[in-house]
């Protein structure tokens, strides 16, 4: 047996083809998967429980709505790469790029249920309640040590220190959707039900 390869499917990494599909399909399908960060050989991970989709230049809530710029270039790149940006000068937000290269779309990771590396997260999230450790896009990045320098990084590269595993998918009857949080302005942008989360999960933000 090859010990370098995880035994169970749950711990295998999602392939690039997973992310190359229509964004809404990927967003819904990411629920229940495991986001893993490797830091000095330690696994820090959580189940994905809340996401938001941002799709194409026509989506006025998307950073790509202004066309391609230096900031949002990663959204136009290959699927399976990440788009990390800074918000309000203090928080980083993690997005996973979807769809074939050239079409700007990504999924914002809004909340995780902590699974592994709890003591490591606890050190960095001092004074914060456990249920808030990875709830909210800024906290996901703070908790997993994801920073702006990782913008454009490939989750599917063999030597990546950040990736997504199959985990345990969520049945349809436990998936809920809603408009995206804090999106204002344009009617379509603020009403499209492009936020997906695990129904009745106690750790979902808001």
Adjacent-strand bridge partners of 195: 52, 178
Adjacent-strand bridge partners of 97: 106
Q: Which residues bind DNA (CB under 7 A)?
A: 52, 54, 61-64, 66, 69-72, 75, 83, 85-91, 93, 95, 106, 108, 125, 127-128, 132, 136-139, 142, 180-184, 205
Closer by beta carbon to DNA, 43 or else 71: 71
Closest approach of DNA to the CB of residue 126, in Å: 9
Closer by beta carbon to DNA, 137 or else 166: 137
Indicate the SS3 state at residue 30.
helix
Closest approach of DNA to the CB of residue 62, in Å: 5
- The two tokens of residue 179 are 């408009």
Closer by beta carbon to DNA, 68 or else 168: 68
Closest approach of DNA to the CB of residue 42, in Å: 21
Q: Which residue matches tokens 């990546």? A: 160
Q: Which residue matches tokens 């998936």? A: 175
Closer by beta carbon to DNA, 5 or else 90: 90
Distance CA 35, CA 84 (A): 15
Closest approach of DNA to the CB of residue 132, in Å: 6
Adjacent-strand bridge partners of 138: none
Adjacent-strand bridge partners of 37: 44, 162
Q: Quick one: which of 142, 56, 57, 132 has its CA closest to 99?
A: 56
Closest approach of DNA to the CB of residue 70, in Å: 5
Distance CA 195, CA 67 (A): 23
Closer by beta carbon to DNA, 44 or else 106: 106
Identify the H or E element spanning 122.
Answer: helix 118-124
């Amino acid at each position: 047996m090859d010990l370098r390869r995880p035994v169970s499917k749950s711990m295998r990494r999602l392939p690039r083809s997973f992310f190359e599909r229509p964004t809404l399909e990927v967003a819904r399908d990411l629920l229940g998967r495991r986001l893993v960060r490797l830091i000095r050989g330690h696994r820090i991970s959580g189940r994905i429980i809340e996401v938001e989709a941002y799709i194409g230049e026509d989506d006025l809530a998307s950073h790509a709505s202004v066309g391609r710029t230096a900031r949002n270039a990663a959204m136009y790149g290959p699927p399976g790469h990440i788009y990390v940006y800074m918000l309000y000068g203090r928080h980083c937000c993690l997005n996973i790029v979807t769809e074939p290269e050239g079409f700007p779309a990504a999924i914002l990771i809004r909340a995780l249920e902590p699974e592994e590396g709890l003591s490591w997260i606890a050190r960095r999230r001092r004074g914060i309640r456990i249920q808030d450790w990875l709830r909210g896009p800024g906290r996901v990045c703070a908790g997993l040590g994801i920073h702006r320098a990782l913008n454009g990084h490939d989750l599917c590269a063999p030597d990546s220190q950040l990736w997504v595993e199959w985990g345990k998918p969520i049945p349809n009857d436990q998936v809920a959707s809603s408009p995206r949080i804090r999106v204002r302005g344009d009617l379509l942008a603020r009403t499209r039900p492009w936020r997906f989360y695990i129904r009745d999960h106690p750790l979902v933000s808001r």
